[in-house]
Amino acid sequence: MPNLPLIGWLLFALLARISSAGHWRSTADFVSSAFLFTWAYLELTQGVNYFRRLLGLAVLAAVVGSRMHAMP
């Protein structure tokens, strides 16, 4: 059920947006990225067609790239 991680990503992304700067915001941002990574991995490995698998690959690359860019 790959859409469950998308719901988690949306909830935590919204929480990160409305939280003030600090520990809670960075934690919510990290957890939202983890949910999106999970969704992309599931789509890449278990997608129902090649479009969904390609979409999973693109999102996976974007999530990893954004996390690499954010590292000090």
Q: Is the pLDDT of residue 9 over 90?
A: yes
Percent of the chain with pLDDT over 90: 76
Q: Quick check: 1 pLDDT over 70?
A: no
41 has pLDDT over 70: yes
Tell me what pLDDT residue 42 has: 94
Instruction: State the DSSP string of 20-68.
Output: PTTHHHHHHHHHHHHHHHHHHHHHHHH-SSHHHHHHHHHHHHHHHHHHH
